[in-house]
A and B are shown apart, each in its own frame.
Chain A
Amino acid sequence: MKFLLDVSHLKTWFPIRRGILARTAGFVRAVDGVSLQIQAGETVALVGESGCGKTTLARSLLRLDPVLSGEIYFEGQNILALTERRLREVRRRLQIVFQDPFAALNPRMSVADIVTEGLLEHGLIAAREKFDAARRLLSEVGLAPEAAERYPHEFSGGQRQRISIARALALRPRLLVCDEPVSALDVSVQAQILNLLVDLRERHGLAYLFISHDLRVVRHLAHRTAVMYLGRIVEEGTTSAVLERPRHPYTRALLSAVPRPGPKRERIVLSGEVPSPVSPPAGCRFRTRCPFATPACAEIEPALEVASGSDGVIPHRVACLRHREI
């Protein structure tokens, strides 16, 4: 099958430089061997806690962070081999929406300028068409057309996030990378934006790579979910499989930590914190916090393999030596 996005064995490491000669003293292994596929029109969620590498992975797709090795194919083109000019062309169809709607918009540009900048840059509209194009885009994301003449500071967080989405949509992308697009927003506004993302997906057949730490939001939006821990994917499958029948101890702990109404549940409280990505633990990276770890977990690095009992077309994969017993 042809994928819209096909990432394999991706590693993005950041060098740590020390001393006056700025010698490389080590690497932050932010993304350390990740493979991920997205089909046209599909929403894939990437879940994990701060520092797990999910944002670096997203930025690597657009070549905003230095990739060490691996392959990224988008619409059949090898992103890592493209010239800067060709890359610009590809970025039209691969857009990103950032977390902080306050930092992502230039305060000196009018909303019309912000949302049509890409269109003008790529010569897709003439300057005199700017306001028409802006009004059309704004109404698509549920903003009044008059917003075009105003400036970002006049809008609330939710409205600014709509402007960011309008800007990303302008170039008719096929894949929208959303990096925590609702985590800076209040719950009531958050729901508005989530509904908008669902509408746009249906209207344009958009695919999303949806990066989030909030499993409730992921449950609502994603067809498939991948869980990241310390630079690696530890579990992936359909969202219902991963969140209803989690197999990796980390996924289970994450799920049990979500505070939510309902009967009291058994909670897996993890001890300690995420180890440094500069020198991740040998063997399984999660073993230092895992309640089920055995000595074997320090020896063998578990591969992402099809979980026992996985049925259906989309396999449920897990990277845990003990997933059959626990």
Chain B
Amino acid sequence: MAALLEIRELTVDFTSDEGPLRAVDGVTFDIHPGEIFGLVGESGCGKTVTALSILRLIPSPAGRFVSGRIVFQGRNLLELPIPEMRAIRGRSISMIFQEPMTALSPLHRVGWQLVEAIRLHQSVPRRQAWQRSAEWLRRVGLPDPERAMLAYPFQLSGGMRQRVMIAMAMLLDPALIIADEPTTAVDVTIQAQIFELMRAVRRPEAALLLITHDLGVVWEMCSRMAVMYAGEIVEIGAVPQVFSRPLHPYTEALLQAIPSLDAPQPRLRPVAGSPPSPRCFPPGCRFHDRCRYAFERCRREHPPLSAVQERQARCFLAEERAKTSHEKP
């Protein structure tokens, strides 16, 4: 199947007070129509910068595309003129942010914002846009859509605001929806509602890129996943396979670090140390100093992202790990 989105060797630098840093380094992956793809990693690994790059929302001049391509429906987004990029944003690719309070305008009523979003892309009479917006608010489960249309964002609860964001992201029937930690700011029972909703209202052909630090969420929502570490992708594969046999030791460590709900473990196995600074990555594998399996070569040589069966991993041991069964998380 042809990919809907192809990211190839994406590299993004940022300048900071303490010198330049590489936020995203050679990221390559595909998203196919209709799939829910999970992008996982810890804070600072580059997952949000990858997402913002797709929409060309990297702040300039602090951030800079160094190299790479992002091909969406046959066009390289990084080379599109600004007006064409604007036509894609919100219309063909939409985004659900972590904190809806910062993504919605605090000065405008919810209804006005939804109507504007429609009329920015389509020449629809205001009245019709209003009805369509209200209809979407009903579909995302706002109890009184007509009243919510007249409310300001601050008058709604966190869960309700996130529903408004979802409605706004779905309004124009985009081909790709990017959700960056969409439920981090809400409680777990509300999170369950929101995921249920995102599954229910999504058109089957639309793809969803879900960015999260929570592997449980990936398990429940996604069919394929990529794991990021220190600006790079370290593993890509189908969710059940990655969970049952992680090829990269970092993925394995992440899975083992989560306490289990089913039975208490005597002791957790944390990943020692912390990720390297994006200002100066160590030579060799970027995970080697925290890795239980590291050997001499890992300290010298930077492993490429290589194909192992139907998966990909950035580890010299991946081939071997795919064959032998090792400890399950």
Contact = CB atoms under 8 A, between A and B. Distances in A.
A156 B196 contact: no
Contacts, number: 110
Nearest to B157: A273
Interface in A217-246: 217, 219-220, 239-240, 243
B259 A219 contact: yes
Given A220-B264, A260-B216, A194 B259 contact: yes
A279 interface: no
A267 B264 CA distance: 22
20 contacts: A49-B190, A158-B274, A186-B43, A186-B213, A187-B215, A187-B258, A188-B270, A215-B261, A219-B264, A240-B264, A254-B189, A255-B261, A257-B191, A259-B219, A260-B216, A261-B216, A261-B219, A261-B243, A261-B255, A273-B157
A215 B188 CA distance: 10
Contacts of A239: 264
A213 B261 CA distance: 13
Contacts of A219: 259-261, 264
B257 A191 contact: yes
A7 B195 CA distance: 38
Nearest to A253: B189
B36 to A, nearest CB: 13
A217 B188 contact: no
Q: Is the interface of A mostly helix, strand, loop or mixed?
A: helix
Contact of A258 (B188, B254, B269): B188
B189 A189 contact: no
Interface in A254-293: 254-262, 267, 269-273
A76 B189 CA distance: 38
Interface string B10-42: 000000000000000000000000000000001
Contacts of B257: 187-188, 190-191
A229 to B, nearest CB: 10
A239 B243 CA distance: 27
A198 interface: yes
A272 B262 CA distance: 28
A50 interface: yes
A192 interface: yes
A259 B220 contact: yes
A195 interface: yes
A106 B195 CA distance: 39
Interface string B229-260: 00000000000000100000000011101111
B267 A198 contact: yes
B66 to A, nearest CB: 26
A257 B219 contact: no
Nearest to B195: A259
Interface in B264-302: 264-265, 267-272, 274
A216 interface: yes
Contact of A192 (B193, B261, B270): B270
B217 interface: yes
A95 B258 CA distance: 27
A191 B216 contact: no
Contacts of B215: 187, 261
Given A261-B216, A261-B243, A269-B192, A216 B274 contact: no
A220 B271 contact: no
B213 A187 contact: yes
B187 A216 contact: no
Contacts of A260: 216, 219-220, 260-261
Nearest to B42: A186
A273 B159 contact: yes
Contacts of B319: none
Interface in A142-193: 156, 158, 186-192
A293 to B, nearest CB: 16
A30 B267 CA distance: 35
Given A188-B254, A191-B269, A191-B270, 15 more contacts: A187-B254, A191-B257, A191-B259, A191-B271, A194-B270, A217-B259, A220-B265, A255-B261, A257-B192, A259-B195, A259-B214, A260-B216, A260-B220, A262-B262, A269-B189
